[in-house]
Amino acid sequence: MKVHGYHHRTVADVPVDGRQVVVRLRVRRLVCPVLGCVRQNFREQVPGLLERHQRRTVRLAGQIAEVARELCGRAAVRLAGLLAVLASRSTVLRWLWRLPVPEA
């Protein structure tokens, strides 16, 4: 793989001491050396920290999902605000829809 350049990502992480944490990442833009490759240019992934196309870390996403599972809707947004996690009602509901349905 050949490094084609760099790309900067801004990612929200779990709050510390009631303050929001923002992580600024510098990831490599890579070029595939194989001719005819389906994806010529792509960005380096950060496994364990981020899922693809996400702006929140896996840890923060897990916290939002747990709050959504317990409270749902406006109550979840209020609790998230008390925990210094910024999330709208639609974001909380989106995370709730991503959770697997428990078997009876």
- The C-alpha atoms of residue 62 and residue 60 are separated, in whole angstroms, by 5
Q: Please, which contacts does 15-20 make with residues 24 or more away whose CB atoms are closer than 8 Å?
A: 15/83, 15/84, 15/85, 18/84, 19/84, 20/84, 20/85, 20/86
Q: What is the DSSP letter of 104?
A: -
Q: Note the pLDDT of residue 9.
A: 92
Average pLDDT, the chain: 87
Q: Note the pLDDT of residue 22.
A: 94
Q: Note the pLDDT of residue 28.
A: 92
SS3 for 99? coil
The pTM (predicted TM-score) of the whole model is 0.77
